[in-house]
Structure 1
Amino acid sequence: MMKVILVDDEIFVRKGLLALIPWQRLGYEVVGEADDGEEATKLIERLSPDVVITDIRMPVMDGLRMIGNIRDNGGYAPKFIIISGYSDFKYAQQAVRYGVQDFILKPIDEDELTVALIRIKDMIEEEHRGKSAPRVDFDAALLESWYSGAVNEEMASVTAELLDIRQDKEYCCILVERNNIGFGQEREPWAIEQMSDLKRILFEAIAPDRKAIVYDAGLSAFGLLTTQGAPGDTVQEWEAFAARMLWATPQELRPNMRLYVGKPGMGVAGVTESHKTAKELVQYKFALDGQSVISYEEASRVSLKYKQSDAKLNAELMEAIEEGKELAVRAAIDKLFEAFTVEKFAPESVQASIAQSVLGITKIVRELDGDENELASLKAMMQWSNEPKTAFGLKSMIIAFVMESVAYITDKRKYRSKGGIQKVKQYIEAHYHENMSLKSISKTFYMNPVYLGQLFKKTYGVYFNDYLLEIRITEAKKLLRQTDLKVYEVAERVGFCNPDYFVTQFEKVEHKTPTEYKNSLLTKK
């Protein structure tokens, strides 16, 4: 376990940090607290922590003075993370000279501090193994704050100076995104460590050729700000550079990686614009499905569509789900995802289309008196957009959800059909005189018409239409025997709107017309 000391003159900040971070899961143990730099110096000498998290402004001895004294003494020196407010940003240059590894602006963000702790742990372990590590030190922290919008224009100018951003150099931001990690796992230490390993691999692949700053862009992505050998290199050369980075990635990870090559630019403005365009390229992930490297030039030729998927496609999927036909389900999903790429859907449109399908399934479940919350994969399906997914990853996810739903719906229908089919039969016997069809009955009982017809035949050995006709003809014969109603009146009483059709069906069953049937009764008398 890595040892940590917390230094802040406000006790509620220290206690807040204790509660905010899952220290043990990250491989850390908080071994001490101090409320000023002088007390912290004594703790550091006694406990030899691996990491010290300290505020800048404190009474007696502030954080920077404490760090400077420890560095100047030439003895044991831990890694430092400083916490500061906007007004303390002017001390950044001094912090760089002291070799501070990271800084975090207030208010403290859990994810930001978690990532900082993981990467410093990784840095320490790499140092013990004698390996190089990406520049995830103060340079990265400065760049992250710049890109997050946490610094104002004046602070951005200072940041550019500290990062040695030159106006005569071309810079390019390449955003590296890890997809399909799995719902709810993005905060797991192993997932963050996997990203650290990936950053190190790519850093080692490019470090011999050029300067690069590796910075975090969330829990599932990081960026590289780098320079080419000379200004004015073509977009194709930057794409080729990104492709080489991809091939440096372990083979098993490549299918889930996406690299977004921002627009190269000169100096400070170029650094900002390249990062902005790299982030925007994420919107083209589904429209350019299958491409691991996406550049701003290629995306500029694509017009994203903000629309709902074809209602017919969703209807096909719902019908296949209700009928429990796995091949038809997969075919419908294939069509849906093909539309995402062919019609160049924006991520928001993909999300809306998936939501439409999920809601359609939950509606079917409820109509069968089921509870959609019993579907184990529903939660992940409702929140899939919270973490990066490729089209393949999303498609695999929705197939798993739909197949679970099909099995659930089938079970519910079987359970319901045990008593439900008898209710259908009773309904037919009570409402035979009304305008009735298999389709109208299926809507009444929230059942698929094909399935209902098959179940009725299997249970009673007769098709629905034949059974309905049998009841109507039986009742018609009764009316012909017991009343003086005209043939057209009898037809209307037993559910036939067309008297001629009634005569045809009566003759089909009894081999004589209604009139002939009634006359035969008179002859017998």
Structure 2
Amino acid sequence: MIKILIVDDEPFIRQGLKILINWEQYGYKIVAEAANGIEAIKEIEKKEIDLIIVDIKMPEMNGIELIEYVRANIPKRLKFIVLSGYYEFEYAKKAIKYNVTDYILKPIQKDELVKVLNSFREEYLKQENSETIQRIKDKVVYDTYLNEIIYGKCNKVNLQYVNNCQSFSGELRYIIIEIRYYDDNCSNISEDEKIEGKQRIYEKIIGWLGENYYNVIIDGSKCADCYEIGFIYDKRLSKEQGIDEKRYIEKLKMVMKRNEKYDIYMYIGQKVSSIKELSVSCKTATVAKLFSNYSNENNVAYYDEIIGEKGFNYNVEKQYMDKLIHEIEEDNEEEIIKCVDKIYNSFKEQNIDLEIIKLNINYLLFNIINIAKELESEVNHEEVMQYFSSISFEQMISRGSIDHFKRFSLEFAEYLKHLRQNSAKGILNKIDREIAEHYKEKLSLKYLSEKYYINSAYLGQIFKKHYKVSFNEYLNAYRIEKAAQLLKRGDDKIYKIAEKVGFNNTDYFINKFVKLKEKTPLQYRKQFFKCDKSV
């Protein structure tokens, strides 16, 4: 609704205007009235007003003087429609130089008023839309620069741009606001619904902040499967509302949570004294998120309260990481979950900072990458590295809680299992080709395992699991089939055929042939040739 202030010294004119039309039907709402310019200024200063309908001639401060004052002293974007009698038209023309939107002659006619209001509303909405688009563009640029600062890339350019847009006090905290979509009851939510939910909460915060909306940003970490919003708490914000920091944060949480069915968590970084130190607060907010399971106070976790007053101890027990690597390789779900709990407890108990946690996680990534590579010498390494680039430290652990870490570990165990299966299929395809091309030659499992850099016992296991017979049984059967084709198509002697398909011992060949075909090679041939051929 467009908000209107009516200013006229005659009460019956003001009352008549109010009942002349259904204002809300045309998109307007009368929010105040005044008898002269001085009263009007008081209303302007305390209320949100878009349009002032003002009479020209009034005592104490007339309409022209009011317009002059507003244009010189009040920065609000206010529009004026002037009311004038026929003989006051010269006054009305004078008002034009003050960018008056329109004027209406007294006595006011309903049709003329509606026409002026419709014209104003069309221009107002057009300008409002244009300004909204520009504000969005400006906010996107601002968020880009601010995210650079938050993630540790502070320079003169982005710092100056951010400071030009928003004035910050000397007491700031970075807050990660997370919408929890990864609980069991959220499994059926589509990606679009998750993004819409995040945007809806972002817009709630924007509306609540009013002119301070630059304090909220869409998180710039580009973390897959993270639905987070960044918020810069400024002491000035709570001071303006006359409340302390914790009460302000609780009110913010209530605004976000209203009519939302999903849990919202807030992770609050340590206090810093300037915008260029915001990356420090962001890192500590991330630590608060890492240990959020240890802070159950209303889904709000303060870094200060989690870490406490104790100093840092960097002696992380490497055995926990080694144990986790082993269990991931073994695809042991129960043990993986236990290991992650132990690792987080270790981090928690020893108050380890973000950089040390990063070293440990990178150790984990390095080792499981090597496991993936070792599964198959010709595995697509680019694919493996691409997989890991999408779950870098910031995305997989610094932007996630213990639940994210557990899920990553379980998913990678599954990934290794599939890689192992695909690796087995790949090596079996190579063995098939070897048999098809070289069945006449001396082939053995030992030779093939050495050629393809794979353990012979493991190769024997996967071969038998796939074909249900041993390698030697499969090779003999393949050679017998080739021999059967030669027996049907030619008249070579039996010992010659045995040699051609890879058997050095004719008796052994005949024995295997009888076992598979239930006939001797000679009997088999007689089915196709009437003439009898000797061995």
TM-score (norm 2): 0.41
Larger Rg over CA atoms: 2
TM-score (norm 1): 0.42
